A and B are shown apart, each in its own frame.
Chain A
C-alpha cells in the first residue's frame, strides 16, 4: 500500500467493512439457525459481493490477506504499510 492514502481508499474500506458486518452477523446467526434458507441465500449473495470489493481494493492498494488468499505484486508487497492501526 502507498504511504499516503486517498479518500477513495477509506470509502472502499468502509464498503468492505459494511459488507463484512453483514457477513459476520449472518455467520453467527446461521451458527445457531442453520436451517434458515433465506439467510443462507443472503449470506452467499454477500459473500460474492465481498469478493468483488476485495478484488477492487487489492488491484489498487495491494493484498488484504496473505498465505495465498491474495495475489502478490512484484516485489512482494504484503509487508507494505500502512497497517490498519496506522490509517
Chain B
C-alpha cells in the first residue's frame, strides 16, 4: 500500500499570481511526459520486470507522485487568486468554462490524459529504455518551461524537478546494466 505524508518533497513558492505559467506547467501534470504518466508507467511495469529492478521501479514511481503533488501545488498557487479575466488573458478560458479553477489531467494544449502515453511491452530492456527516454523527455520539458518562466521562486522548484529526471535516467541506465549482466550470466546454465 501507499502512505501519504503531509509534506512536499521540496518547497514550492511562487512569486505572484501567474495563470500563463500554470498553463505551461499543466504539461507536466497531464501531458505525455508528465509526472502522472511517469508514476503510472513505472508502477505498472513492476509486475512483470525481473525482481532485481522491482525496488527501483517502485521507488521512482512513488517519487513521481511526490512530483505530481509539487506540480499541482504550483498550478494551484499560480491560479488561486486569478480572476476569470486574468484566466482569459492567459489563454485558459477553455479550461475555466469546463473546470472552474479545478485541476484536470490534460496537457498544455488541453488534450486530456490518455493511457496511450504509457508503454508496457513486457520486455525488460524495451521497458527500461522507454523509461530512460521518458525521463529525458521530462527533463527537456522542464527546461522548456524554465525558459518560458520569469518567476525566480518557481524556477528554483522546477530546477529541482529537472535534476530529479537526470537522477532517474541514470538509475534506469544502471538497471539496464544489471539486467544485461544477469542475462549474460544465464548463458552458462
Residues of A within 8 A of B (CB): 1, 13-14, 16-17, 20-21, 24-25, 27-29, 31-33, 63-67, 69, 83-85
Contact = CB atoms under 8 A, between A and B. Distances in A.
A31 B73 contact: no
Given A32-B175, A85-B72, A27 B7 contact: no
B77 interface: yes
Main secondary structure of the interface of B (DSSP, over half): helix
25 contacts: A14-B11, A17-B8, A17-B10, A17-B11, A21-B9, A21-B10, A24-B63, A25-B167, A28-B56, A28-B63, A28-B168, A31-B53, A31-B55, A31-B59, A64-B6, A67-B1, A67-B3, A69-B3, A83-B6, A84-B6, A84-B69, A85-B8, A85-B12, A85-B69, A85-B73
B81 to A, nearest CB: 13
B174 interface: yes
A24 B66 CA distance: 11
Contacts of A29: 171
Contacts of B63: 24, 28
Indicate the member of A16, A29, A32, A64 with the most B CB atoms within 10 Å: A32
Indicate the member of A1, A28, A33 with the most B CB atoms within 10 Å: A28
Contacts of B7: 13, 16-17, 20, 64, 84
Nearest to B56: A31
Contact of A85 (B76, B171, B175): B76
Interface of B: 1, 3-12, 53, 55-56, 59-60, 63, 69, 72-73, 76-77, 167-168, 171, 174-175, 178
A83 B183 CA distance: 46
A2 to B, nearest CB: 13
Contacts of A83: 6
B7 to A, nearest CB: 6
Nearest to A29: B171
A32 B11 contact: no
Nearest to B76: A85
